């Protein structure tokens, strides 16, 4: 074979290898559903959450669409214009979500996926690898587009008389949308990776930034929640759309390209020019995707084989003694604080938790008062505190697994099993105490609950948090699953997390629901059973703490010695 | 009883393993069967065997990392099952996977280990200086361990395991990943450490290293202890003794 032919053989896209790569990805995805690997509880939970979100969206968006399409500007209704505006805003949100998801997906596929390190040393040229990766990324975006756009359009269609083209064009939008979002994501992925690299060892900056972004998102969520409340309470939302507001919405929607073109095509406002602009944009985007992803693929292949950068961190001298317990506490903190995903899912969530409770309290108090005419502030606060406390402490379901193979090293150190377990629990309790106290202070300061009720709330919140943490830690110990990654970081939630979420949610709904119903019953019937809230929650909290301590310590000494879990040693 | 054993009996026992049996689950075969040996103070003992012979399993049972079904392990007078904390306080160990807390800096890791082994402040500063002379991590000790190469992780694990100056130093495949200079330095350190009256047990495939370093070798095959050799004595009697040939011949026996 001549050298030229050989070069041609290795320089071109090899469709057989593309198919082999896609087959491998498919097999890996399917293996996740096989017995032993399949997290049935987590799967059911995810499906249930997704269905709930879609159902809530369909109900509230359907109702909102009816209100919005009836809004008059200059004294007349204009359904076509409102349709375009509404769809423009929603498609923009979908595009934004898909771009954010796309940045993450491209980053994962090209920079962090396990297979890239192997591929770099295999006879796979960049073009072949690129096509296989691009198909994977496109398919994942297609699924998101299909779920989001179909839900929006079908809900919309129930509120208005949509023409045949509306239905026919819906799948076309689903197919075309990822072409644009992938291009935008591809352009943004390198700056994002650079920012990630810059922030990698700037932990405090990352913490502040991530917490601020998360807080801002929750603030936006509270605005949406307020809108939902107004929808439920009556007509007040209709008066929100004044001439001034509508002018602002029109001007914003006028600039929201490319979502506006999709909306114009679907809504039938301007199909000819919409198609033309969209065709040009898609052609440009496809070219950008091909060029950009190909160029970053080569860099990604090289970067996977580079070591970490050297970074100098000034540590305190060796003269500071922390003691065994202190050393383990410090270790827990460093492991979490210096792993961005852990920092976000625990520390940032714990900092934001008081805001979550406050926003939800703000919305639900007036909603309950208007709908059933009772004041159940303390009961609502208890329910929200336990619920959000549970969601924050779900992180503790990886308390053992996070240590990875180092858990065996810890076992071989001269440490008592109680010191090992309680250092983890105390660390989580410190985080949760800050969160619970801040939450109670915020509710008391804003007048949602009295000072004494605030104290009660903080104490009960901490007791139930202890229950969450203790149960999650022991459950994780019994079902530990260590990461196989080099850095030992847990990147996917296990069945343990799903089980702990369910236990926590059942607990919060059962306790919160019980005291809420009792208080509502007491107020509606003037039976004077208000004190039952204190009695029931305090009684249940103390009992739960006792049971959780028993569960945590039951044969722990023997099990700690016998431990060979986590996926082997 | 060999001559070496009777000679060594006068010295203090640091490790005593009797009838060690270990299997990973009830359905699996025994990973280690009836392993028994004793190590005395000032000795370097090598565990030699093929891949999967049971060397690492024996060391992990000795370290208290994994449970064992039958037998007795005693470290410096403490039973690893009955007095685990006291027994573990007598030893330092380096695992074959060099597992360490990679989100700590090297210095934080040393501090962590010093805290766990309750090393006083002035002592830990002095010992770190001594260990730095051997392992020479330099300024990298202030870097995150996640940025370390394989060899550097090996070094920080060794430094952490020695910060409390253990009576027993256990190493699983210690020379893997070390550069030649550090390998030489570690070998010299092992000799001087044992000369101070401490005991070192290590597993290895590197026959040359074993021959050069060990006083005694415990040979393990398919989970069974098949031989115990007095390396020093063998070399004294026959300086041309081919360790590799002996090992390979032994491997062929069933």
CA distance A141 to A184: 13
Contacts of B86 in chain A (CB under 8 A): 414
Q: What is the pLDDT of residue A185?
A: 85
- CA-CA-CA-CA torsion for A490, A496, A500, A503, nearest 10 degrees? 160
CA distance A458 to A461: 5
A560 Cα to chain B: minimum distance (Å): 9
User: Model confidence at B36, in pLDDT bands (50, 70, 90)?
Assistant: very high
For residues A242 and A332, state if they share a domain.
no
Q: State the DSSP H helix or E strand holding residue B195, giving kind and residue range, or none if neither.
A: helix B180-195
Residue A318: inside a domain, yes or no?
no
For residues A347 and A203, state if they share a domain.
no
Residue A311: inside a domain, yes or no?
no
Residue A8: inside a domain, yes or no?
no
Contacts of A324 in chain B (CB under 8 A): 115-116, 118
Q: A376 Cβ partners below 8 Å, 6+ apart?
A: A368, A516, A519, A520, A523
The mean pLDDT of B1-17, rounded to a whole number, is: 69
Q: Which domain holds residue A296?
A: 14-306
Q: What is the pLDDT of residue A413?
A: 95
B206 vs A: CB within 8 A:
no
Domain-terminating residue out of A239, A273, A306: A306
CA distance A251 to B175: 70
Binary contact (A315, B149; C-beta < 8 A): no
**By percentage, how much of chain B surpasses pLDDT 90?**
51
B68 vs A: CB within 8 A:
no
pLDDT by residue, tens only, chain A of 569 residues: 444 444 445 556 677 877 888 888 788 777 777 666 667 777 787 888 888 888 888 888 888 888 888 888 777 888 888 888 888 999 999 999 999 998 888 887 777 666 666 666 666 676 777 778 888 888 989 999 999 999 998 888 887 777 788 888 889 889 988 888 888 888 888 788 888 888 877 888 888 998 998 888 888 888 887 777 776 666 566 667 778 888 888 888 888 888 888 888 887 767 777 778 888 888 887 787 777 767 776 666 655 444 444 445 454 556 677 789 999 999 999 999 998 889 988 999 999 999 989 988 888 887 787 777 778 889 999 999 999 999 999 999 999 999 988 999 999 999 999 999 999 999 999 999 999 999 999 999 999 899 999 999 999 999 999 999 999 999 999 988 888 776 778 776 677 888 888 888 888 899 988 888 888 888 777 777 778 889 999 999 999 999 999 999 999 999 999 998 877 66
Q: Quick one: tokens of B228?
A: 């115990």
Domain-terminating residue out of A242, A276, A306: A306
Binary contact (A487, B146; C-beta < 8 A): yes
Lateral strand order in the sheet of B91-94: B78-79, B70-75, B13-22, B32-40, B224-230, B216-221, B44-48, B199-204, B168-172, B91-94
User: Model confidence at B107, in pLDDT bands (50, 70, 90)?
Assistant: very high
Q: Strand, coil or helix: what is A71?
A: coil
For residues A62 and A130, state if they share a domain.
yes
For residues A296 and A347, state if they share a domain.
no
B116 vs A: CB within 8 A:
yes
| Residue closest to A477 by CA, chosen among A396, A534, A390 | A396
Q: A217 Cβ partners below 8 Å, 6+ apart?
A: none
CA neighbours closer than 13 Å in the CB half-sphere of residue A22: 18
For residues A261 and A364, state if they share a domain.
no
Beta strands A72-73 and A76-77 are antiparallel
Residues A151/A62, Cβ–Cβ less than 8 Å: no
Q: What is the pLDDT of residue A317?
A: 59
Contacts of A307 in chain B (CB under 8 A): 147, 149
Residues A187/A288, Cβ–Cβ less than 8 Å: yes
CA distance A182 to A171: 18
Residue A569: inside a domain, yes or no?
no
Candidate from A327, A404, A568 with C-beta closest to B112: A327
For residues A58 and A170, state if they share a domain.
yes
Chain A to chain B Cβ contacts (< 8 Å): 122
B96 vs A: CB within 8 A:
no
For residues A301 and A346, state if they share a domain.
no
Q: Quick one: tokens of B219?
A: 């040979």
CA distance B71 to B79: 11
Q: By CB neighbour count within 10 A (0-12 exposed, 13-18 middle, 19+ buried), where does B79 fall?
A: middle
Q: A313 Cβ partners below 8 Å, 6+ apart?
A: A201, B105, B142, B143, B144
For residues A110 and A138, state if they share a domain.
yes
Residue A567: inside a domain, yes or no?
no
Long-range contacts of A434-441 (CB under 8 A, 24+ apart): A434/A350, A435/A350, A435/A351, A435/A353, A435/A354, A435/A389, A435/A392, A436/A385, A436/A389, A436/A461, A436/A462, A436/A465, A438/A353, A438/A354, A439/A353, A439/A354, A439/A357, A439/A358, A439/A385, A439/A388, A440/A385, A441/A354
Helix axes B150-162, B180-195, angle to 10 degrees: 10
Closest residue of A to B104, CA-based? A334
Residue A2: inside a domain, yes or no?
no
Residue A183: inside a domain, yes or no?
yes
For residues A234 and A338, state if they share a domain.
no
Write out pLDDT tens, residues A498-557: 888 888 888 889 998 888 888 888 877 777 777 888 999 999 999 999 999 999 999 999
Q: What are the Cα distances from residue A339, in Å, to A21, A214, A286, B26, B153?
A: 31, 17, 35, 38, 19
Q: A377 Cβ partners below 8 Å, 6+ apart?
A: A361, A365, A448, A449, A453
For residues A116 and A47, state if they share a domain.
yes
Instruction: Say what the ipTM of the complex is.
Output: 0.91
Binary contact (B111, A409; C-beta < 8 A): no
Cis bond leading into A180, ω under 30°?
Answer: no
For residues A415 and A516, state if they share a domain.
yes
CA distance B170 to B91: 7
Domain total for chain A? Answer: 2
The full set of domains in chain B, from first to last, is: 1-87+214-254 (3.40.50.300)
Residue A120: inside a domain, yes or no?
yes
A201 Cα to chain B: minimum distance (Å): 9
Binary contact (A404, B149; C-beta < 8 A): no
In the block, residue with structure tokens 């596929």: A109
Residues A419/A370, Cβ–Cβ less than 8 Å: no
Domain-terminating residue out of A306, A340, A368: A306
For residues A350 and A286, state if they share a domain.
no
Closest residue of A to B65, CA-based? A412
């Amino acid at each position: 074979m001549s050298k030229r032919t050989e070069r041609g053989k290795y320089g071109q896209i090899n469709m057989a290898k593309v198919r082999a790569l896609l087959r491998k990805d498919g097999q890996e995805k399917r293996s996740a559903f096989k017995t032993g690997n399949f997290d049935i509880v987590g799967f059911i939970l995810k499906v249930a959450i997704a269905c709930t979100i879609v159902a809530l969206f369909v109900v509230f968006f359907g109702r909102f669409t009816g209100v919005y399409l009836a809004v008059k500007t200059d004294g007349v209704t204009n359904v076509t214009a409102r349709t375009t505006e509404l769809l423009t805003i929603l498609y923009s949100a979908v595009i934004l979500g898909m771009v954010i998801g796309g940045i993450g997906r491209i980053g994962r596929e090209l920079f962090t996926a396990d297979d890239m390190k192997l591929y770099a040393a295999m006879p796979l040229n960049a073009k072949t690898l690129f096509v296989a990766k691009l198909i994977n990324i496109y398919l994942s975006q297609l699924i998101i587009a299909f779920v989001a756009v179909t839900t929006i359009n079908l809900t919309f269609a129930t509120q208005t008389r949509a023409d045949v083209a509306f239905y026919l064009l819906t799948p076309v939008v689903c197919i075309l949308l990822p072409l644009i979002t992938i291009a935008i994501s591809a352009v943004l992925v390198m700056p994002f990776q650079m920012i990630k690299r810059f922030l990698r060892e700037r932990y405090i900056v990352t913490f502040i930034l991530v917490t601020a972004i998360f807080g801002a998102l929750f603030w936006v969520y509270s605005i949406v929640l307020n809108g939902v409340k107004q929808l439920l309470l009556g007509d007040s939302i209709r008066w929100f759309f004044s001439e001034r507001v509508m002018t602002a919405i029109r001007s914003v929607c006028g600039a929201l390209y490319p979502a506006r073109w999709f909306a114009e095509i679907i809504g039938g406002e301007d199909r000819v020019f919409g198609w033309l602009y969209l065709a040009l944009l898609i052609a440009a985007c496809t070219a950008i995707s091909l060029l950009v992803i190909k160029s970053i693929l080569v860099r990604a292949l090289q970067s996977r084989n580079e070591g970490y950068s050297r970074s100098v961190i000034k540590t305190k001298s060796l003269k500071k003694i922390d003691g065994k317990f202190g050393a383990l506490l410090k270790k827990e903190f460093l492991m979490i604080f210096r792993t961005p995903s852990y920092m976000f899912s625990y520390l940032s969530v714990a900092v934001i938790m008081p805001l979550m409770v406050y926003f939800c309290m703000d919305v639900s108090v007036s909603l309950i008062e208007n709908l059933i005419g009772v004041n159940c502030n303390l009961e609502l606060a208890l329910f929200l505190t336990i619920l959000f406390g549970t969601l924050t402490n779900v992180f503790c379901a990886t308390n053992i697994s996070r240590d990875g193979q180092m858990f065996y090293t810890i076992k071989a150190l001269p440490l008592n099993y109680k010191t090992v377990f309680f250092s983890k629990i105390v660390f989580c309790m410190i985080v949760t105490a800050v969160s619970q106290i801040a939450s109670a202070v915020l509710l008391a300061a804003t007048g949602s609950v009295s000072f004494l009720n605030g104290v009660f709330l903080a104490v009960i919140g901490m007791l139930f948090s202890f229950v969450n943490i203790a149960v999650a830690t022991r459950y994780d110990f019994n079902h530990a699953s260590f990461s196989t990654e080099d850095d030992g970081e847990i990147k996917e939630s296990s069945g343990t997390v799903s089980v702990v979420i369910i236990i926590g949610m059942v607990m919060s709904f059962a306790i919160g629901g019980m005291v809420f119903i009792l208080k509502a019953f007491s107020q509606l019937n003037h039976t004077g059973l208000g004190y039952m809230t204190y009695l029931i929650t305090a009684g249940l909290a103390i009992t739960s703490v006792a049971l959780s301590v028993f569960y945590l310590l039951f044969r722990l000494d023997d099990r700690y010695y016998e431990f060979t879990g986590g996926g082997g040693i | 009883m060999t001559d070496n054993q009777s000679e060594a009996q006068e010295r203090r026992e640091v490790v005593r393993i009797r009838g060690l049996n270990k299997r990973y689950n009830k359905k699996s075969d025994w990973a280690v069967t009836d392993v028994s040996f004793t190590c005395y103070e000032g000795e370097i003992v090598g565990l030699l065997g093929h891949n999967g012979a049971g060397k690492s399993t024996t060391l992990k049972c000795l370290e208290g990392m994994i449970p064992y079904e039958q037998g007795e392990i005693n470290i410096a007078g403490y039973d690893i099952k009955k007095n685990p904390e006291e027994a573990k306080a007598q030893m330092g160990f380096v695992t074959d996977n060099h597992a360490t807390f990679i989100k700590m800096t090297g210095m934080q890791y040393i501090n962590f280990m010093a805290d766990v082994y309750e090393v006083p402040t002035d002592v830990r500063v002095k010992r770190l200086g001594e260990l730095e002379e051997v392992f020479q991590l330099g300024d990298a000790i202030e870097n995150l361990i996640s940025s370390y190469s394989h060899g550097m992780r090996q070094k920080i694990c060794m430094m952490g395991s020695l910060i409390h100056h253990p009576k027993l130093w256990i190493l699983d495949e210690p020379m893997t990943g070390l550069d030649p200079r550090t390998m030489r330095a570690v070998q010299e350190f092992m000799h001087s450490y044992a000369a101070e009256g401490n005991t070192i047990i290590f597993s290895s495939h590197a026959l040359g290293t074993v021959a050069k370093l060990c006083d005694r070798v415990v040979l393990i095959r398919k989970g069974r202890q098949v031989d115990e050799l007095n390396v020093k004595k063998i070399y004294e009697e026959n300086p041309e003794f081919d360790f590799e040939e002996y090992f390979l011949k032994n491997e062929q026996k069933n």
